[in-house]
């Protein structure tokens, strides 16, 4: 449901932002919406500016682009990305807002949160020049990893999904597409992002000897069965988790969360990323019905963008 939240007087070190666009992070937000977050993860799963506490109703979400209405110095009028939820107006600390570069369209910049996750995953499972890379799961996150990896010289990327309707997406991103039964074997680097048991086992099966499978999915209260028999040990495979809440250890000595997020925002200047949005945006007032649709098991949406009407 949509609730009204009064805004307190704006602190001097905060910006008042009017939202232009937000985006739904389908995997995480539908798990929260459906009540499928394990009790042990209530605190860790809190969004950066979440209102309320699980398991009660919460304001979740973390992909918001807006225009600064009030703030110090030259901030008013600037477009900003914030790790904020679906709310029409809000106040945020200045250091939590990332000003959009001139070459980043605000409608595309809502992808920055997912891009930050993809960047961290690539740091955790880094492809090297010339590697054969497979990404299993052609949702938004898997597609972003594939797109970024494809820009590494000599790297061949194959995006794998059970639904062949994802082939045009792969083509738009400049990567090869395959279904699990046609995917190339013996890959150097494998990423899994389908959030399904079958997808994870496909990723394990496609990995070459001594390869790493980087697990990007979060399963909530599901307990996937992992195929650790067969050739898993003979091939000396590594299964590694990645999660955006921590900067990848390989980069943590030099990179902060703020620097990583600023990089993600800057990478939204790539027009290929427009292929990741659903054909139609939805309006903020329709968000309750939209969340119910996205939570359906058979829903095949990509990034659902939300638009906000002008507020007087």
Of 9-23, 42-56, 133-147, 149-163, minimum mean pLDDT range: 42-56
Please tell me the distance from the alpha carbon of residue 265 to that of residue 110, in angstroms, as a whole number. 9
305-311 mean pLDDT = 82
Torsion of CA 86, 91, 93, 95, to 10 degrees: 50
Burial of 301 (0-12, 13-18, 19+ CB in 10 A): middle
Please tell me the distance from the alpha carbon of residue 62 to that of residue 5, in angstroms, as a whole number. 17
- Higher-pLDDT residue of 296 and 124 is 124
Judge whether residue 298 has pLDDT over 90: no
Which is nearest to 132 in space by CA: 176, 188, 184?
188
Mean pLDDT, all residues of the chain: 93
Residues 6+ positions from 83 with CB-CB distance below 8 Å: 47, 48, 49, 62, 63, 64, 96, 113, 261
For 280-300, the DSSP string reads S-EEGGGHHHHHHHHTSTT--
For 236-288, how does the pLDDT look when each residue is reduced to its tens digit (9 = 90+)?
Answer: 999 999 999 999 999 999 999 999 999 999 999 999 999 999 989 999 999 99
pLDDT for 60 equals 84
Which is nearest to 74 in space by CA: 108, 102, 99, 105?
99
Which is nearest to 212 in space by CA: 185, 180, 187?
187
190-215 mean pLDDT = 97
pLDDT for 311 equals 44
In order of their start, the domains of the chain are 14-99+277-307 (3.90.180.10), 114-241 (3.40.50.720)
For 115-152, how does the pLDDT look when each residue is reduced to its tens digit (9 = 90+)?
Answer: 999 999 999 999 999 999 999 999 999 999 999 999 99
pLDDT for 181 equals 97
- Higher-pLDDT residue of 284 and 5 is 284
Predicted confidence band of residue 310 (pLDDT cuts 50, 70, 90)? low
Half-sphere exposure of 1 (CA within 13 A, CB side): 5
């Amino acid at each position: 449901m949509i609730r009204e939240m009064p805004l307190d007087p704006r602190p001097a070190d905060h910006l008042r932002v009017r939202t232009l666009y937000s985006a739904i992070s389908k995997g995480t937000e539908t798990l929260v919406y459906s009540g499928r977050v394990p009790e042990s993860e209530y605190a860790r799963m809190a969004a950066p500016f979440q209102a309320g506490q699980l398991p009660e109703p919460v304001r979740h979400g973390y992909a918001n682009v807006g225009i600064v209405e009030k703030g110090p110095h030259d901030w008013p009028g600037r477009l900003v990305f914030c790790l904020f939820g679906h709310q029409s107006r809000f106040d945020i600390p200045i250091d939590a807002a990332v000003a959009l570069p001139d070459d980043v369209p605000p409608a595309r910049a809502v992808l920055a949160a997912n891009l930050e996750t993809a960047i961290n995953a690539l740091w955790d499972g880094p492809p090297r020049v010339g590697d054969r890379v497979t990404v299993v799961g052609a949702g938004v996150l898997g597609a972003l990893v594939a797109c970024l990896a494809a820009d590494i010289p000599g790297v061949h990327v194959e995006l794998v999904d059970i639904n062949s309707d994802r082939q045009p997406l792969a083509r738009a991103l400049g990567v090869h597409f395959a279904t699990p039964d046609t995917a190339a074997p013996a890959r150097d680097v494998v990423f899994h992002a389908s959030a399904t048991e079958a997808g994870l086992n496909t990723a394990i099966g496609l990995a070459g000897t001594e390869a790493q499978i980087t697990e990007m999915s979060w399963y909530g209260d599901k307990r996937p069965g992992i195929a650790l028999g067969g050739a898993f040990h003979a091939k000396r495979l590594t299964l590694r988790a990645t999660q955006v809440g921590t900067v990848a250890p390989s980069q943590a000595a030099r990179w902060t969360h703020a620097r990583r997020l600023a990089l993600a925002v800057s990478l939204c200047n790539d027009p290929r990323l427009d292929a990741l949005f659903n054909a139609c945006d939805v309006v903020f007032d329709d968000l309750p019905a939209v969340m119910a649709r996205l939570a359906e098991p058979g829903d095949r949406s990509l990034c659902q963008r939300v638009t906000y009407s002008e507020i007087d």
